DNA sequence: CGTTCAACCTGGGCGC
DNA sequence: TGCGCCCAGGTTGAAC
């Protein structure tokens, strides 16, 4: 089934205009002229548009980058506009309020170099349970920061790491190498369930509303959060107040009673 | 092997 | 209103 905004096959660039000041644009925009998009795909948290030149446009949105179909929230932070030959195709706009994201045009070799197994682990939604456990279980690190290590397993973000450990009933400060098989099994199954559900609900739009889907609409997964952004609110299981702590300079939320 | 810190940026929210 | 903080779904590299 074709996705609603599938760019594949015959869609062709007619022109491309990066906005005036795009320091992270590491290639000349004209090199994209009249290239066909043969496939769209995701590797971990990156979005790739594979071109018929056997290169790929690689977007890494980081905290605030959005790939939008149609109108951006404002013209101010439009970083790149992709126009297509077929007039009925809407523009694709890369919009990034904070400007932390990057866009690269990479060859197959460069993709292997930057996104290959030495840099990124298997995708969280494609890995087997035993490979998932083996990726982490020898580490002496705390489990929550470990889940964010993209070189072990790719695709788990800060918000979802907290949600996963709540569902798995594992304390975020436990060391990886002190968790048993059934705990790893619960973490694995929770990661699959939560990431799939979050994708289905089109992500979590929090506080300042930064995250949007491709149509610039907010996601719905924030309504499913059990712990993230719920500091001092009661645990849905035991009514204990949810705690916020900081691990590796990132917020972690958890229930100190439910998570052992 | 692991942790901590700073840096990259903008802007919303809060206390004063 | 304004100012000065703190915070933010991420990643990288340096220092220890």
- pLDDT attached to residue A27: 59
**pLDDT per position as a tens digit, A75-93:** 889 988 888 776 667 788 9
The protein footprint on chain B, as nucleotides within 7 A of a CB, is: 1-13
Average pLDDT rounded to a whole number, residues A104-124: 93
pLDDT score of A3: 25
Strand C CB shell (< 7 Å): A 44-45, 60, 62-63, 98, 100, 119, 148, 150, 157-159, 198, 203-207, 209-211, 219, 221, 249-251
A145 touches strand B (CB under 7 A): yes
pLDDT tens track for A205-244 = 998 888 999 999 999 999 999 999 999 999 999 999 999 9
pTM: 0.90
Please provide the DSSP assignment of chain A as one string.
Answer: ---TT---TT-BEEEEEE-S--TTB-S-GGGGTTPBEEEEEEETTEEEEEETTS-EEEEE-TTTEEEEES--S-STTEEEEEEESSTTSPPEEEEESS---EEEEE-HHHHHHHHSTTT---BTTT--HHHHHHHHTT--SBHHHHHT-TTTSBS--HHHHHHHHHHHT--TTSBGGG--HHHHHHHHHHHHHHHHHHHHTT----TT-----TTS---SGGGG-SSTT-TTSBPTTT-PBPEEEEETTEEEEE-TTT--
């Amino acid at each position: 089934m074709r996705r609603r905004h599938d760019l594949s096959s015959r869609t062709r660039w007619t022109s491309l205009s990066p906005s005036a000041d795009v320091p992270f644009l590491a290639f000349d925009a004209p090199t994209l002229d009249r290239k066909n998009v043969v496939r769209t795909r995701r590797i971990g948290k990156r979005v790739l548009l594979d071109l018929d030149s056997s290169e790929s446009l690689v977007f890494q949105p980081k905290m605030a980058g959005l790939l939008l179909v149609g109108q951006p929230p404002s013209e101010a932070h439009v970083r790149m506009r992709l126009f297509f030959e077929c007039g009925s195709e809407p523009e694709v706009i890369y919009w990034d309020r904070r400007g932390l994201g990057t866009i690269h045009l990479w060859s197959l070799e460069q993709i292997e170099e930057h996104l290959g197994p030495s840099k990124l682990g298997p995708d969280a939604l494609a890995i087997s349970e035993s490979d998932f456990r083996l990726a982490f279980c020898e580490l002496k690190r705390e489990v929550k920061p470990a889940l964010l290590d993209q070189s072990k397993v790719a695709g788990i973000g800060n918000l979802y790491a907290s949600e996963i450990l709540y569902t798995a009933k594992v304390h975020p400060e436990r060391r990886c190498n002190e968790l048993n098989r059934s705990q790893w099994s619960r973490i694995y199954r929770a990661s699959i369930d939560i990431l799939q559900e979050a994708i289905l609900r089109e992500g979590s739009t929090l506080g300042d509303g930064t995250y949007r889907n491709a149509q610039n609409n907010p996601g719905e997964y924030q309504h499913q959060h059990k712990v993230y952004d719920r500091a001092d609110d009661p645990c849905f299981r035991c009514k204990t107040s949810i705690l916020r702590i900081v691990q590796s300079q990132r917020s972690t939320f958890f229930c100190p009673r439910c998570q052992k």
